[in-house]
Amino acid sequence: MLEVGAGPTNPTSAFLATLGTVHGLDVSDEALDNVHLTESRVVTATSQFPYDDGSFDAAVSNYAVEHVSDPRKHLSEIRRVLKPGSPYLFRTPNLFHYVAMVSRFTPHQVHLWLANPLRAMGRAHHDPWPTVYAMNTPVAVRRLAADTGFDVETMKLVEKEPSYGLYARPLFLLLMAYERAVNATEFLAALRANLFVVLRRS
C-alpha cells in the first residue's frame, strides 16, 4: 500500500501496517520517522511520485487531500502507481462544514494562532499545514475522478466529534448539538465534517 501524506508515526499508519506492507510519501521529513512504514520518501508538492507504474494494490490518504493544490495531478499520479482495479481511499474535510469554511476564508496566520489551542493540543504538536480545499466537495471529487480515470465507488459524509470545541465546555456542548443534528438526517448531510471516499482505478 501507498500512504500519501503519511506524516509521523500515527494510528492510520499503524492500522495499515496490520494489513500489509506500507510505503509512505510526504512533503515533510517527519514521515522518515514513521515506524509503521516499510519505506518512506519525501517529495515536493509538484514532483512525480518516485515509483514505477502499477506498483501498488491500494493508496490511502488521511487528512491530506485538503492540502493538495493540484488535485488533478495528485489523482493522476496515484492512478499511475496503482495497479488496474485498485482503490484510492481518503478522508478529508467537507468544504461546506463550518470548520472548513472558516479555515478557507481566514489567513493561514490565524490558523497558526488558533488551531492547536482550540483543539486543546500542546506545543509539542506541529503547526497546521496550509489548506487549499481544491477537492473537498462531492461535486469536485466526482468531476476530478472522472477527469483522471477513476470511478467513484463510495462517498459518504460523516460528522465527527467537535475537536475544535475542546477549548471550552460551553463551546463543546454547542458543537455536540450541531453534530447530533446533522447526523440525524440525510437532509443535512451536506453540512457534515468529513468526506470518506473510495475511488477505483478504471
Domain coordinates of the chain in residue numbers? 44-201
Cell digits of residue 141: 471529487
SS3 116: helix
157-200: per-residue pLDDT in tens? 999 888 777 778 888 899 999 999 999 999 999 999 999 999 99
On whether the CB atoms of residues 182 and 188 are closer than 8 A, the answer is yes
| Among candidate residues 14, 61, 12, the one with its CA nearest the CA of residue 199 | 61
Strand ranges inside 35-182, DSSP E: 39-42, 59-62, 87-93, 150-158
Residue 28 contacts by C-beta under 8 Å, 6 or more apart in sequence?
Answer: 7, 42
Which carries the bigger pLDDT value, residue 107 or residue 156? 156
pTM assigned to the model = 0.87
Q: How far apart are CA 94 and CA 111, in angstroms?
A: 17
Residue type for 135, please?
A: M
Give the confidence band of 34 by pLDDT, cuts at 50, 70, 90. very high
> Quick one: 44-201 is in which CATH superfamily?
Vaccinia Virus protein VP39 (3.40.50.150)
pLDDT at 122 over 60: no
186-198: per-residue pLDDT in tens? 999 999 999 999 9
Residue 172 contacts by C-beta under 8 Å, 6 or more apart in sequence?
Answer: 162, 165, 166
SS3 176: helix
Alpha helices, DSSP H, located in 24-162 = 71-81, 98-104, 108-118, 138-147
Place of cell 468544504: 95
| Among candidate residues 191, 118, 114, the one with its CA nearest the CA of residue 157 | 191
| Among candidate residues 45, 37, 104, the one with its CA nearest the CA of residue 74 | 45
Q: How far apart are CA 55 and CA 43, in angstroms?
A: 17
- Element at 23 (helix H, strand E): strand 23-26
